[in-house]
A and B are shown apart, each in its own frame.
Chain A
């Protein structure tokens, strides 16, 4: 069968491929040898994940893109400060979080903006969301309006959380980190992560009790 089936590929992998290489090895290669391929691989590897995080954190696609670029600039500038005993992922999140905070300060934003605010106008956003709902289910217009309003209230409740609680919520709930990993990113004890998340959920619970979504 092997002789007749169309083969595009053999079992052997190219020795210099970076695909199997761990983040830590890539970082070491870049720090020690300035291996740009390793650096670029790290950027591509974390493109979706870190952008998603920053986008949630900053609530704005343009700011998230700036923060993403600044994050990797810091990786370039400070890679020699990276502790090789640490994992790269939490370190990247730490750098990204700091960049997001700096960016917010520079933008003179004292209050975090919406978790999910689009770069499109509010009107476009509502029309888009409404359109999706119409496609998805044949709700009555009044139900759709109610759904949008309730979701807006939930967003507002999340946005109004204290920053520290919201950071933990983003890392654990949105980024799927373990308590231990979030503690590493924020350089705080695991117990503090747990209590902040608990406090965040309790606070949200109070709001959500008044904003039940229709099925």
Chain B
């Protein structure tokens, strides 16, 4: 039996509504306590399904095997079927060579052709494989730099409209995590595409269902949902935590357009020495500086700066110990260590 209101509530819970429908149901939820209660009840019901939602990873090499499988089909189909996509390089198909003589000679030549083709293919693979790998690696770095540049533009626009300050990372509460920059920028309309906060080299890449949560969703999240939201809301990038000054925590940094002050980077990883990011295979990380430029740095403590930008001057992932101490935390990192400990374990 159809119930349009419940359909909208489910749509909101699953983020399946279009923007206008989303805004409409949110307005009703804000003004109708009974509807809000109904919504909370549905949310509790849906939470029980959450464990089924785990990501199921493909077996190693599935894409490669699939390409080979289709390639084999292409070879079989050559000469038999006009359909399918044309091939750009028929020379890769020695069996399709034209005008051969007697059947026995044809068979002999085919065997030789196959052997030659295999030899050529192997030689090409030996020569090209590192280049292909390198090309892919380079392309990811370039695309990632473009993401950070665009986020940098959004951060600059945000600071221009907020007294010169970047989005803050509060010391406590649901939003006290580095990744909060993304919901803030999305809610304010400075960023529009969720994929912008995904580095193409990271494990989140290709997850097209990834969405940046709304601030309201984070503020109303319970202790069962919150850790997961905090861990993922910033995508695959880390953001600058606040700093301590005269014994007080300052949650927002002022945009001083400093060319050596890092405000964002590929997210640090606790799995690698020096918290090196995993986004680019541990070989380095892209870093966005306050003046908007992006560099790929091989180490999180580059020489001319000599400030480890994944830890504060005390060596901790926490707020900077002075205004010039840059600390970029991964999405779930909290500026206050005690807070981090409290939220760090999803089972608590």
- A contact residues vs B (CB 8 Å cutoff): 1-2, 4-9, 11-14, 17-20, 30-31, 33-36, 39-40, 43-49, 51-52, 55-56, 61, 65, 68-69, 72-73, 76-77, 79-80, 89, 115-116, 136-137, 151, 154-155, 158, 172-180, 182, 194-195, 197-198, 201, 204-205, 208, 211-213, 215
Contact among A8, A43, A45 for B284, CB-based, below 8 A: A8
Of B2-10, B170-178, B183-191, the one contacting chain A is B2-10
What is the distance, in angstroms, from B325's C-beta to the closest C-beta of chain A?
Answer: 18
A contact residues around B274 at 8 Å (CB) = none
What is the distance, in angstroms, from A128's C-beta to the closest C-beta of chain B?
Answer: 13
Of B118-126, B241-249, B295-303, the one contacting chain A is B295-303
B296 and A49 contacting across the interface, CB-CB below 8 Å: no
B contact residues around A4 at 8 Å (CB) = 303-304
CA distance A211 to B49 in the complex (A): 11
What is the distance, in angstroms, from B267's C-beta to the closest C-beta of chain A?
Answer: 18
CA distance A180 to B17 in the complex (A): 8
The answer to whether residues A9 and B55 also contact, given A43-B66, A73-B69 and a CB cut-off of 8 A, is no
Count how many chain B residues have C-beta atoms less than 8 Å from C-beta atoms of the other chain: 75
B256 within 8 A of A: no
Interface centre among B11, B14, B347 (most CB of A within 10 A): B14
What is the distance, in angstroms, from B156's C-beta to the closest C-beta of chain A?
Answer: 18
Of B107-115, B206-214, B311-319, B327-335, the one contacting chain A is B206-214
The answer to whether residues A89 and B52 also contact, given A7-B296, A17-B139, A198-B7 and a CB cut-off of 8 A, is no
A contact residues around B51 at 8 Å (CB) = 151, 154
A14 and B16 contacting across the interface, CB-CB below 8 Å: no
A contact residues around B14 at 8 Å (CB) = 172-173, 176, 197
B142 within 8 A of A: yes
- B contact residues vs A (CB 8 Å cutoff): 2-4, 6-7, 10-11, 14-18, 42, 45-46, 48-49, 51-59, 62-63, 65-67, 69-71, 73-74, 83-89, 135, 138-143, 145-146, 200, 206-211, 224, 259-260, 283-284, 293, 295-299, 302-305, 347
B45 and A205 contacting across the interface, CB-CB below 8 Å: yes
Chain B: CB-nearest residue to A136? B347
A contact residues around B209 at 8 Å (CB) = 49, 175-177
A-B contact pairs, 19 of them (CB 8 A): A12-B142, A20-B146, A34-B85, A39-B85, A47-B63, A49-B206, A52-B57, A76-B84, A151-B51, A154-B48, A173-B49, A176-B15, A176-B210, A179-B18, A197-B14, A198-B3, A201-B46, A204-B49, A208-B45
CA distance A11 to B46 in the complex (A): 45
A7 and B63 contacting across the interface, CB-CB below 8 Å: no
- 4 interchain residue pairs of minimum CB distance: A176-B209, A51-B58, A13-B142, A194-B7
B contact residues around A180 at 8 Å (CB) = 18
B85 and A76 contacting across the interface, CB-CB below 8 Å: yes
What is the distance, in angstroms, from A66's C-beta to the closest C-beta of chain B?
Answer: 10
B contact residues around A116 at 8 Å (CB) = 52, 54
The answer to whether residues A182 and B16 also contact, given A55-B56, A80-B83 and a CB cut-off of 8 A, is yes
A contact residues around B18 at 8 Å (CB) = 178-180
Chain A: CB-nearest residue to B71? A36
A39 and B70 contacting across the interface, CB-CB below 8 Å: yes
The answer to whether residues A19 and B11 also contact, given A178-B18, A180-B18 and a CB cut-off of 8 A, is no
Chain A: CB-nearest residue to B304? A4
B contact residues around A89 at 8 Å (CB) = 208
The answer to whether residues A14 and B84 also contact, given A137-B347, A197-B7, A204-B49 and a CB cut-off of 8 A, is no
CA distance A157 to B87 in the complex (A): 48
CA distance A7 to B303 in the complex (A): 12
Contact among A17, A34, A40 for B67, CB-based, below 8 A: A40
B85 and A7 contacting across the interface, CB-CB below 8 Å: no
A8 and B141 contacting across the interface, CB-CB below 8 Å: yes
A5 and B304 contacting across the interface, CB-CB below 8 Å: yes
What is the distance, in angstroms, from B57's C-beta to the closest C-beta of chain A?
Answer: 7
Chain A: CB-nearest residue to B55? A52
What is the distance, in angstroms, from A140's C-beta to the closest C-beta of chain B?
Answer: 15
